[in-house]
Structure 1
């Protein structure tokens, strides 16, 4: 399929924004069910200007998955981690799910988190995506309410290999 994972640049903002919106509108349909109040809230901050701001923040690290289509690079995935250990974005074009794109994006974020000496990552995941993250070692700690009004799962993953086995409780303490 020829997918490349690379650090996102400001030149990717418009394509990443389109990808986010498309992925939420179509790929997350089982979660929002087409309810306008949920969908509008979820998409509300998915603007090119906001993506540019996320990319400009020194506390964020974003990656894109892109591929060559007839000599033109096309963004097919976008993910972001911040220095607080949160993964607020990890989206793949719906027709490319289960092709390794999401796994490659997540691996890039985890590598950056380790480089920042972050020991745990956490996120809110729509129910339809939770199993994907669980297969990659994330612990589902239960239900949480996303800022856009959707019930989500709170997931987290211990990154350092020296740690005790994962348990449902999420804690940033040293024990």
Structure 2
């Protein structure tokens, strides 16, 4: 048989749909795993594999810390495909996207883009006509692809230089 992969894919179960839902305290362990793995495995352009920088960036991504976020003023969402956490997103009350990280296994499969669209829609529902965020070097191209523009001098975020971005929402 010349095309074994094609045949196996033809008979494979279809991929589970992506579900985006508000995060709860029961999600803190899954959210922590996504954040830690995404930073460690996908953000090489920002931390360069430096264990100290990774440790600094991930220090506040523990389940205990995330539990306090969920009880605070921000709002958080979890994107799941089947029973697997695919991405984590968050909004601050001032209209800033505070988090958007995809699990390495879900990278490039649309979970981040779907969650970004969801966050943008949430901003509009909350009365914000413009979204703001700080992008890492790793995420800069992703945000540009989705219509975000650089908004002047960036600052530091997560212990790494970031680029301030904004997008007019409609």
TM over 0.5: yes
RMSD: 1.5
Question: Where does residue 158 of structure 1 map in the other structure?
Answer: 168
How do 1:42-61 and structure 2 match up within 5 A? 42-57=57-72, 59-61=73-75
Shift of 1:35: 1.6
CA distance in 2, matches of 1:30, 1:113: 29
Q: Match of 1:117, SS?
A: coil
> Which residue in 2 is equivalent to 1:64?
78
Give the Å deviation of 1:138. 0.8
* Contact 1:83/1:113 (<8 A) preserved: no
Q: How many residues align?
A: 155
SS at match of 1:18: helix
For 1:18 and 1:4, the matched residues in 2 are separated by: 18
Deviation, 1:100, is 0.9
The equivalent position to 2:47 in structure 1, one of 32, 42, 66, is 32
Give yes or no for contact 2:134–2:157 (8 Å, CA) kept in 1. no
SS of equivalent to 1:88: strand
Pick aligned residue for 1:8 from 1, 23, 34: 23
* Rg (Cα) greater in structure: 2
Q: Distance in 2 between matches of 1:98 and 1:109?
A: 18
CA contact (8 A) 1:83 1:118 kept: no
- SS where residue 144 of structure 1 aligns? coil
Normalising by structure 1, we get a TM-score of 0.82
Between the aligned partners of 1:143 and 1:96, the Cα distance in structure 2 is 31
Counterpart in the other structure of 2:9: none
Once the two structures are superposed, what CA deviation does each residue of 1:74-99 show, in whole Å capped at 9, x if it has no partner?
Answer: 21110001111111110001232221
Structure 2 length as normaliser, TM-score?
0.84
**Structure 2 unaligned blocks of 5 or more:** 1-14
Quote how far apart the aligned CAs of 1:142 are: 4.6
Please say if 1:82 is aligned against 2:97.
no
